[in-house]
């Protein structure tokens, strides 16, 4: 399966060097990544706000190998939040953070290191009038990430978490959060996982996603439904109506560079839409996961290569 190959390639140093060596790659990456520098992401956020779209800015990078790297990530986020505070962006521009970029996987106190650094980022976000959503990574990180999110919400209650419908455990995780107004981004899941913990067939993942949308809409959580699938969007809209949720009681989320036409149309219909905007030099793993998610993305990449040849 092509998605399996691409997911493996996202973790391969050899594949990374090969892809990065293709001159056209950077131009194609620009469709999905706002740029290498903070200024580019801030410009995207300003343009999005002008069109009625909210944003979530993500500094690309994951799996740091030492505490110095984790602190560098922390410092990058503090600088970004300082810029957002100066711009008066408010909650229309939040930030997304991967805990592996804050040292979560370090062998010596990785969980505590990530918690401490994330707490600094959350404090800066609160001071800037915005919030943080903790991205979810592969299944081995879920317990630690949820525990850190729960701890952070003691001081920063708007700290969001991400749940992945391809994981068999997610219905239980929603049940654990259902009684509180937790911001929950629901995604299908972009990581290749073993059958023991994750659904393998698309039809199973789709069924789980629909059920998880229903669970979130019926809960006290604030659902952030992340999908580009018109059928899933309609499921979310119908469930929101059935549960009496107004436009301010939930939101849709989409990726930068994917279905911009649909994003604009949904805003025009009165929906809240937030765009996930990644930026930075460490684009390779993110880019390969985007290719793995949708065959149309692979076709776009191959067409660009053909035009360049």
Catalytic hit among 58, 135, 173, 212: 135
CA angle 190–195–201, rounded 5-degree value: 65
**Are 67 and 110 in contact, with CB atoms under 8 Å apart?**
no
Nearest to 38 by CA among 290, 281, 254: 281
User: What are phi and psi for residue 33, nearest 5 degrees?
Assistant: -125, 130
Nearest to 163 by CA among 222, 95, 119: 222
User: Residue 233, SS3?
Assistant: helix
185 is catalytic: yes
Q: DSSP letters along 190-221, please? A: -S---TTTB--SHHHHHHHHHHHHHHHHHSSS
Q: Which helix (H) or strand (E) holds 222?
A: strand 222-226
Task: Name the one residue in this structure whose structure tokens are 């592996």.
Answer: 100
Catalytic hit among 74, 153, 183, 185: 185
Q: Residue 113 corresponds to which tokens in the numbers above?
A: 């290191």
What sign has the CA pseudo-torsion 174, 178, 183, 186? Answer: positive
CB atoms within 10 A of CB 218: 15
135 is catalytic: yes
Q: Which residues are catalytic?
A: 135, 185
């Amino acid at each position: 399966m092509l998605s399996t190959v691409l997911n493996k390639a996202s973790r391969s140093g050899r594949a990374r060097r090969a892809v990065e060596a293709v001159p056209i790659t950077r131009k194609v990456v620009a469709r999905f990544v706002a740029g290498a520098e903070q200024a580019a992401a801030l410009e995207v956020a300003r343009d999005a706000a002008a069109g009625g779209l909210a944003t979530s800015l993500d500094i690309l990078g994951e799996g740091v190998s030492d505490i110095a790297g984790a602190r560098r990530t922390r410092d990058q986020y503090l600088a970004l939040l300082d810029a957002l505070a100066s711009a008066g962006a408010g909650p229309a521009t939040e930030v997304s953070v991967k805990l592996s970029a804050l040292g979560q996987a370090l062998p010596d106190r990785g969980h505590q290191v990530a918690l401490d650094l994330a707490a600094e980022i959350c404090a800066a976000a609160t001071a800037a009038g915005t919030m943080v959503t903790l991205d979810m990574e592969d299944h081995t990180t879920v317990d630690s990430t949820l525990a850190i999110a729960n701890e952070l919400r003691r001081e920063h209650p708007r700290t969001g978490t991400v749940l992945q419908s391809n994981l068999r455990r997610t219905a239980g995780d929603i049940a654990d959060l259902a009684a509180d107004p937790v911001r929950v981004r629901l995604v299908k899941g972009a990581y290749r996982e073993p059958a023991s913990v994750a659904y393998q067939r698309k039809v199973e993942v789709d069924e789980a996603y629909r059920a998880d949308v229903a669970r979130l809409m019926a809960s006290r959580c604030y659902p952030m439904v992340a999908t580009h699938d018109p059928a899933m969007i309609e499921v979310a809209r119908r469930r929101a109506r059935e549960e009496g949720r107004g436009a301010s009681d939930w939101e849709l989320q989409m990726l930068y560079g994917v279905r911009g036409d649909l994003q604009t149309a949904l805003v025009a219909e009165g929906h809240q839409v937030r765009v996930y905007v990644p930026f930075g030099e460490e684009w390779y793993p993110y880019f390969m996961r985007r290719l793995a998610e949708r065959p149309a993305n692979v076709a776009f990449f191959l067409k660009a290569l053909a035009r360049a040849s």
